[in-house]
Amino acid sequence: MRDLYRLIRPALMKIDAEQAHRLTLRLLNSPLAGLLGGDTAETPDLETTFLGIRLPNPIGLAAGFDKNAQVPDAMLRLGFGFVEIGTVTPRPQAGNPPPRIFRLVEDEAVINRIGFANEGADIVTRRLSERRAASRMGKIGINIGANKDSEDWVGDYVNGLQRFSGLGDYYTINISSPNTPGLRALQTRESLKPLMDALIATREHMSRVRKPPLLVKLAPDLSAPQLEDIAALALEHDIDGLIISNTTIGRPESLHSPHRSEAGGLSGAPLKALALETLQRMYRLTGGTVPLIGVGGISSGQDVYDRIRAGASVVQLYSALVYEGPGLVRRIKGELSALLKRDGFATVSDAVGKN
Q: Any idea which residues carry the catalytic annotation? A: 177
Q: Number of C-alpha atoms within 13 angstroms, CB side, residue 342?
A: 9
Enumerate long-range contacts of 74-79, CB under 8 Å, 24 or more apart. Answer: 74/28, 74/29, 74/33, 75/28, 76/137, 76/138, 77/33, 77/38, 77/40, 78/36, 78/37, 78/38, 78/39, 78/326, 78/329, 79/38, 79/39, 79/40, 79/329, 79/330, 79/333
Task: Kindly tell me the burial class for residue 276, based on how many C-beta atoms sit within 10 Å of its own C-beta (0-12, 13-18, 19 or more).
Answer: buried
E strand spans, the chain: 48-50, 53-55, 59-61, 82-88, 101-104, 109-112, 139-144, 170-174, 214-218, 241-244, 265-268, 292-295, 314-317
- Please tell me the distance from the alpha carbon of residue 223 to that of residue 285, in angstroms, as a whole number: 13
Cβ-contact 315, 294 below 8 angstroms: yes
Task: Kindly tell me the burial class for residue 337, based on how many C-beta atoms sit within 10 Å of its own C-beta (0-12, 13-18, 19 or more).
Answer: middle
Cβ-contact 145, 156 below 8 angstroms: yes
**DSSP for 121-135, written as a single string:** HHHHHHHHHHHHHH-
Task: Kindly tell me the burial class for residue 116, based on how many C-beta atoms sit within 10 Å of its own C-beta (0-12, 13-18, 19 or more).
Answer: buried
Cβ-contact 248, 265 below 8 angstroms: yes
